[in-house]
Amino acid sequence: MSLIYLASQSPRRRQLLDQLGVAHELLLPGADEDAEALETVQAGELPDPYVRRATLNKLAAAVARRAARGLVPRPILCSDTTVALGTSILGKPADAEEALLMLRRLSGHTHRVLTAVALAWGEGQQALALSVSHVRFAAMPEAALRRYVDSGEPMGKAGAYAIQSQIAGWIEHIEGSYSGIMGLPLFETAGLLRQAGLDL
């Protein structure tokens, strides 16, 4: 029997939970839910408040989903990751051209990767933690950027890249949480699960 529900479609988050030894089952949006709307950036919104709000929106939707489906009550975990260059939020690229534009902006610069993780359990209890990491890309030649975009890897990824992909060869420096950059900061996640009374 699963210990928790994971409200995420990310296979990387599943792998990271497996790494912690946390049994889980997916609690994904139905066809009647507009999951993408939960990640819409509001005008003038800064990265830190945005990623917190988006994560809490996802959590509220997942709690309602569990209740509507009549599922056994268990802790529900969700997470959201965004890439920030200064005050600019770089979300998931809409197409290859936008992915290329994002990667050009990141090339030769340091950006932040913010991952918020939230957990709901018991009778309305919930908590959120935020992981902030800094990633520096070396200057990347245009040909390398185009090859990476052509691989399809940037699609569906905040900032148009995955740190565990081939682009790692251009990452000069990391400060922070590698698992947080992947999409689920394990230290913060373990802390939330312990707070909910789970024995890891």
Q: How confident is the model at residue 2 (pLDDT cuts 50, 70, 90)?
A: low
Catalytic residue flag (residue 80): yes
Domains (ranges, CATH) in the chain? 4-195 (3.90.950.10)
Q: How confident is the model at residue 43 (pLDDT cuts 50, 70, 90)?
A: confident
- Tell me what the pLDDT averaged over the chain comes to: 94
Using alpha carbons, list the distances in angstroms from residue 59 to 6, 55, 62, 182: 10, 6, 5, 19
From the list 18, 32, 34, 80, the catalytic residue is: 80
Question: What mean pLDDT do residues 141-147 have?
Answer: 96
DSSP 132-172: EEEEEEPP--HHHHHHHHHTTTTTTSGGG--TTSGGGGGEE
Q: How confident is the model at residue 31 (pLDDT cuts 50, 70, 90)?
A: confident
Q: What's the rounded Cα separation, in Å, for the pair 124 and 168?
A: 40
